Amino acid sequence: MLFRRCCSGSSSRRAAAAPPSPSLPPSLPLSPPTQRSGIRCFATFRHNICTNDWIAFPGVERRKRPQQMRPEVGMDKSKIPQWSANCPFCKGNEGQLPAKLLTLRASDHDPTCAPKDDFELYVLPNKFPVVAPSNCIADESLQYPFAASIMSMECNELVDCLNTARARGKLLLEATGFHEVVVDHPSHNLPIGHTTPVYWEMLFKAFRDRGLLLTTSPLIQSLLCFKNVGMFGGASMVHPHSQIIGLPIVPNQQLKLTDTAREYFQTNGRCLFCDYIKLELKEEVRIVELDSQFIAVVPFAAHIPYQILLLPLRHNYQFLSIDDDTLRALGRILHRVFQRINRALGDVDYNLVLRTAHLHRTRNQVYNPSCYYHWHVEIFPRLDSWPVAGFEFGSGIMCNAHMPEDDAKKLIEAGCD
């Protein structure tokens, strides 16, 4: 059974015990799930009932992932080699990897690409996942037999269990889902100033194509695509890579974002993000890049210095629906944005997050998210370690010592090709 109660069976001693606290009724399952139908459960989500957040506990297997990021490496990127014998993502070390799930080549996306500039991007299962398919064991190759598992009766039963858990306020469920790695580039050390428009186009094409496939599973409720770069960015590997995660839950942060947009639409009859774009276009001072399809700004209330918010000018709630022409335009503006970041800040560590609408498979919908949500990309340059201390933890309010208008001015003045 996927979910277990805190106590099973009964005895006179249990019956005589004091009643549990009202905040922890006996129906709440606090014991971790065990082996089910021959499947090793090595990861769980636990629900914080005080904050309404889900916390992932990946288990012991994820602790075994390689850790290439050390302070002495992260501080001087110029000394990082272009190839490493110890890196499983470097050319010639492919024998250490599971089978590829998707392969893209630069010359297929840019006919003018010279042979010396051609490169391959590929996607593979994460060997040390936060979540994993329900029929996979962590120390195996993590291949995805979609026809046999993902669309099987077992998966449908799992979805029913998840839906029941949400309805009953369960505290713990198996961390089932998909976790993939995108190996962006063959070079072990790729400074942000060396990325190209086709590089970003291919990365987001991988996000789209794999996301379309993963979300065919009825299990998946939300999709998370992101890129961590450098020690301050939380990357465990030096080699450029990104990640795609299909989750069986909708994280509270994503719910808050979409609920805010929905409430604005209910009150005003318009998309919150579309109105925000109009505000930035009117004031102009925080616009870093603008073309016929996208706008990139330092947000009016940026969380951290030099944060970038990139939105499509045309309303679209679902990133997975964009076409190849839009991907090319996205690659071009991301290239220009990162050129500005590189010229203004140097080869800085950063995080990139794609935010698209979750799938709303288990929530009653008064309005379709296509009306009120707007997919977007956020870039968080990491000038130092994450600036969170007592004030931020205690209040939930980020404290940004930089004015967004000043940051935007510096990025604009830095220029790009």
Which residue ranges make up the annotated binding site for Zn(2+)? 87, 90, 188, 239
User: In terms of Cα–Cα distance, which of 248, 99, 240, 95 is closest to 174?
Assistant: 248
What is the chain's length? 417
| Catalytic one of 109, 179, 241, 335 | 241
Contacts with 229 (C-beta within 8 Å, 6 or more apart), sequence order: 192, 235, 240, 349, 350, 351, 352
What number of helices (H) and strands (E) belong to the chain?
11, 13
Residue 335 annotated in active site:
no
Structure tokens at 371: 């009306």
Helix (H) or strand (E) holding 276: helix 272-283
Pairwise CA distance, residues 374 & 99, whole Å:
34
CB 46 within 8 A of CB 55: yes
CB 106 within 8 A of CB 118: yes
> CA-CA-CA-CA torsion for 370, 373, 375, 378, nearest 10 degrees?
-170
Pairwise CA distance, residues 228 & 241, whole Å:
8
CB 99 within 8 A of CB 191: no
Residues that are catalytic: 241
